[in-house]
């Protein structure tokens, strides 16, 4: 028989039943212990007949529920059925306990009735704490035990007993109200817990979907970046080869425009690459001492013409200071800051200066007279893909990554990058650097004279035919003896037992092989530690980290001819 209709949500009732069961052992054993004490007291005080039968009945109604609970399978219970069983358990327990007070209605012993009353009200209070999570279970006990106590008082008669009987009824009503409120509290707590679990699950699912979307986006962007870099790299090689031939004025003009478009595309892809490197965590600062002025001169030589094209004044304040930091990373930060200043300045110009501060600190400052940054945007200015004054996403204004890269690089080197700005008047960016002794400086190399590699044999391994052909034509124009191969096995067949002077290898080859593996294979088969350059179009974080583990020099497609030439020269000088 089901005493509980299915008006309760099953999962809530399941938790309420579990809360009652949680104290089942202690509660039932406690009840039986009280019955033993009551039997002993009543036996001593009144020497009643049948007390042992009553005690035996208490033992039966106490231990049968415990035996059933011990054999219960928690995972496959029906909460409605279990709640009904609990109700019946405590109806029997309450009835047996209440019968005790009716057995002594003729005793007329104040001591006996006070003892029975104290024990009954105490058990009812204990039942309130144990059974209140499921109100029907508490009511099953309270409304069988306490009404019997009140009835026994009324049967005894007399003002004192009648008053005690009325007090017992009021006590029962009070406990009922308390139990109702406690059950509401428990129920609300359970509902809140389930809501939290559901919210956590929704959040977990949303995070999983977000991670999967980010992973898919990263895979797509990495694949798209690699596939874009391949033809751009080949195009750059052919343009450089074409530049080395005899062209008339018109042809030179056309090639210059093509080269300009190629360089613009390469710059944008390299910006994304810098951001990918930061995201992958593969940038490791290598600090050393260098002259700030040498860096200023290099930046003015590279970017001064861009400012001149916009009729902006580009000024550099000379300095004798030397800094201790990663020179190439500081150069990249400064380049991004200067490009940003030029990009957002239409009238006036920019000033690059270095100031000495206390505690052996230098501050490189980039001033401009551009549009400035509103105060509400100051906290967002270093966010990726965040741009001011470019709602149409003009590609000439970049991706909005320059300042994010500058901030990321400064954080990587644990340097402070800050700004002050006034809308309509301009902005100043400040990069703080540790100062170095002038005597230990290492200048940025300024020798940009072209190198030739007459008679040097270079082995190129790349699975893209256009890249192989473009690289061969370019290296032939530099005097190299060039071998090209699609795989490491083909390269071994070409070289035989003679080792080339230099390896130039694409990182991603066919059949899921890598350039690092190709280099290791050739070095092992030829038994010589060949100098090598890995050129990759991959920007995925895991690929970048993997490529960084090789001892070969790493370049990223599209590679400029000057960068390739300098890298080859640095390796071949050692052989």
Q: CA Rg, the chain, in Å?
A: 43
pLDDT tens-digit readout, 182-205? 888 878 887 788 788 888 888 888
Confidence of residue 260 (pLDDT cuts 50, 70, 90): low
Distances (CA, A) of 237 to 95, 231, 311, 429: 98, 10, 32, 37
Residues above pLDDT 70, as percent of the chain: 78
What mean pLDDT is predicted for residues 512-526?
Answer: 87
Range in 331-345, 368-382, 446-460, 515-529 the model is least confident about: 446-460
Q: Are 550 and 516 in contact (CB under 8 A)?
A: yes
pLDDT at residue number 391: 43
**pLDDT higher than 60, residue 280:** no
**pLDDT higher than 80, residue 179:** yes
Confidence of residue 405 (pLDDT cuts 50, 70, 90): confident
What mean pLDDT is predicted for residues 303-326?
Answer: 88
Q: Which residue has the tokens 């694409």?
A: 506
pLDDT at residue number 504: 92
Q: Which residue has the higher pLDDT, 508 or 106?
A: 508
pLDDT at residue number 2: 44
pLDDT tens-digit readout, 531-542? 999 888 776 666
**pLDDT higher than 60, residue 385:** no
Confidence of residue 502 (pLDDT cuts 50, 70, 90): very high
What mean pLDDT is predicted for residues 341-353?
Answer: 90
Residues 6+ apart with CB under 8 A from 517: 488
pLDDT tens-digit readout, 476-499? 888 899 999 999 889 888 887 788
Range in 36-50, 111-125, 209-223, 360-374 the model is least confident about: 209-223
3-state SS track over 56-87? HHHHHHHHHHHHHHHCCCHHHCCHHHHHHHHH
Confidence of residue 510 (pLDDT cuts 50, 70, 90): confident
**pLDDT higher than 70, residue 59:** yes
What mean pLDDT is predicted for residues 4-18?
Answer: 64
pLDDT tens-digit readout, 149-159? 888 888 887 88
Q: Are 352 and 338 in contact (CB under 8 A)?
A: yes
3-state SS track over 4-35? CCCCCCHHHHHHHHHHHHHCHHHHHHHHHHHH
pLDDT tens-digit readout, 546-560? 666 677 888 877 777
pLDDT at residue number 7: 45
- Output the six-digit token pair for 269: 């892809």
Q: Which residue has the higher pLDDT, 515 or 542?
A: 515
pLDDT at residue number 411: 84
H helix or E strand, kind and range, residue 291? strand 288-291
Confidence of residue 393 (pLDDT cuts 50, 70, 90): very low
- Count the alpha carbons within 13 Å of 42 in the hemisphere toward its beta carbon: 26
Question: Helix or strand or coil: residue 174?
Answer: helix
Burial 260-274 (b: 16+ CB within 10 A, else e): eebeebbeebbbbbb
User: What's the chain's average pLDDT?
Assistant: 78
| Neighbour-count burial of 369, counting CB atoms closer than 10 A to its CB (0-12 exposed, 13-18 middle, 19+ buried) | buried
């Amino acid at each position: 028989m089901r005493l509980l209709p299915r008006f309760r949500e099953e999962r809530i009732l399941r938790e309420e039943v579990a809360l009652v069961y949680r104290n089942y052992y202690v509660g039932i054993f406690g009840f039986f212990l009280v019955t033993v004490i009551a039997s002993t007291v009543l036996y001593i005080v009144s020497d009643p007949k049948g007390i042992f039968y009553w005690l035996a009945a208490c033992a039966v109604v106490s231990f049968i529920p415990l035996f059933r609970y011990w054999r219960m399978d928690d995972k496959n219970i029906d909460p409605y059925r279990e709640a009904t069983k609990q109700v019946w358990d405590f109806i029997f327990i309450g009835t047996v306990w209440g019968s005790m007070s009716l057995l002594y209605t003729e005793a007329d012993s104040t001591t006996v009735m006070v003892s029975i009353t104290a024990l009954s009200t105490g058990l009812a209070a204990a039942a309130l704490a144990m059974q209140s999570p499921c109100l029907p279970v508490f009511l099953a006990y309270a409304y069988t035990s306490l009404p019997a106590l009140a009835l026994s008082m009324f049967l005894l008669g007399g003002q004192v007993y009648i008053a005690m009987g009325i007090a017992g009824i009021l006590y029962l009503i009070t406990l009922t109200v308390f139990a109702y409120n406690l059950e509401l509290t428990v129920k609300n707590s359970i509902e809140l817990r389930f809501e939290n679990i559901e919210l956590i699950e929704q959040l977990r699912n949303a995070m999983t979907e977000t991670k999967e979307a980010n992973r898919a986006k990263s895979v797509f962007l990495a694949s798209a970046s690699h596939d874009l870099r391949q033809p751009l790299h080949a195009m750059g090689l052919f343009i450089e080869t074409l530049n080395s031939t005899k062209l008339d004025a018109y042809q030179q003009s056309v090639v210059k425009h093509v080269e300009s478009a190629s360089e613009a595309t390469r710059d944008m892809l390299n910006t994304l690459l810098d951001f990918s490197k930061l995201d992958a965590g593969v940038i490791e600062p290598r600090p050393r001492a260098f002259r700030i002025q040498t860096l200023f001169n290099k930046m003015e030589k590279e970017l001064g013409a861009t400012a001149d094209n916009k009729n902006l004044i580009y000024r550099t304040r000379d300095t004798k200071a030397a800094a201790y930091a990663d020179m190439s990373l500081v150069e990249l930060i400064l380049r991004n800051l200067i490009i940003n200043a030029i990009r957002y300045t239409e009238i006036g110009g920019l000033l690059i200066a270095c100031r000495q501060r206390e505690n052996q600190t230098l501050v490189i400052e980039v001033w401009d007279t551009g549009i400035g940054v509103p105060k509400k945007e100051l906290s967002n200015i270093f966010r990726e893909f965040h741009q001011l004054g470019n709602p149409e996403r003009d590609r000439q204004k970049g991706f909005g990554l320059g300042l994010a890269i500058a901030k990321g690089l400064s954080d990587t080197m644990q340097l402070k990058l800050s700004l002050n700005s006034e809308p309509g008047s301009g902005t100043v960016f400040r990069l703080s650097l540790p100062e170095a002794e002038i005597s230990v400086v290492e200048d940025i190399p300024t020798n940009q004279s072209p190198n030739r590699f007459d008679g040097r044999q270079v082995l190129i391994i790349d699975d893209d035919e256009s890249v192989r052909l473009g690289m061969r034509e370019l290296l032939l124009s530099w005097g190299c003896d060039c071998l090209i191969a699609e795989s490491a096995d083909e390269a071994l067949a070409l070289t035989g037992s003679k080792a080339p002077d230099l390896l130039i290898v694409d990182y991603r080859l066919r059949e899921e092989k890598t350039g690092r593996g190709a280099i290791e294979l050739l070095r092992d088969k030829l038994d010589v530690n060949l100098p090598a350059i890995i050129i990759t179009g991959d920007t995925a974080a895991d690929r970048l980290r993997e490529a960084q583990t090789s001892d070969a020099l790493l370049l990223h497609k599209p590679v400029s001819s000057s960068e390739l030439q300098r890298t080859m020269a640095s390796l071949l000088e050692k052989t």
